[in-house]
Amino acid sequence: MVFASNNTKLSEKLLNNFNLVKMESAMNKKLIIQILAVELVRSLFIAVMILGVVLVSNGNNQMVMNPRILSKIHPASQMEQHPSSVSGNKAEHLYHMFIIQTASHYQIDPALIKAIIMAESGYNTKAVSNKGAKGLMQLMPETAQSMGVEDIFNPHQNITGGVQYFKQMVNRFNGDVKLALAAYNAGSRNVRNYNGVPPFKATRYYIKKVLKYYQIYKNQMGEEIDRV
């Protein structure tokens, strides 16, 4: 009888220990779930904060890359490049004569076309934007097609299509270069809707950047003519 009693007590003790282990296991699972939930919320909060810094509204209820962030991750979008780093671009020298010939054909200052290419792609012939613009002058596929461009990554075709399209914008806005640049960047519809340069930070930054590069290339080409 004593032996049976001891067995019973031992069984009860083992059962209690088992139940205790189950309770602790359940509590540990609950604690782990709570910790994971907190970490998930924290991660989502950080992600939202990062997106808030990286993305900004362009004034047309569209989210675009913050120019300040873009200038850090895309060398071609930096405003304050040293003149020598702009005029000394090897790809720019490679297409120098073709740009002059094409721009002159469409009665556009070649220095301005060089500036647009530098601002758009940094002379990267394979450049593709997050919106799908491609090539040296960042043509959208539908725009390239309308300009007769068959191979959008072909430098000569891309430049020809880009210059032709920019010339259309210049004519559309009566020779106003700033409005033509705004239309090239944000679309002619936005320029007409706002009756001027749209209040988009990205577009205003783009115009300022192109005009800065334009001055550099204009001075460079002027010096070349003086040497001749």
pLDDT at res. 50 = 61
Instruction: Give the pair of three-digit tokens for residue 152.
Output: 């959008």
Query: What's the Cα-to-Cα distance from 188 to each of 58, 78, 156, 181, rounded to whole Å?
Result: 15, 25, 24, 9
Asked whether the predicted pLDDT for residue 40 surpasses 90, the reply is: no
Q: What is the pLDDT of residues 96-134, one digit of tens each?
A: 999 999 999 999 999 999 999 999 999 999 999 999 999
Asked whether the predicted pLDDT for residue 60 surpasses 60, the reply is: no
* Secondary structure of residue 139 in the 3-state scheme: strand
* Secondary structure of residue 2 in the 3-state scheme: helix
Mean pLDDT of the chain: 79
Active-site position among 24, 39, 80, 120:
120
Residue with tokens 């001891």: 6
Catalytic residue at 120?
yes
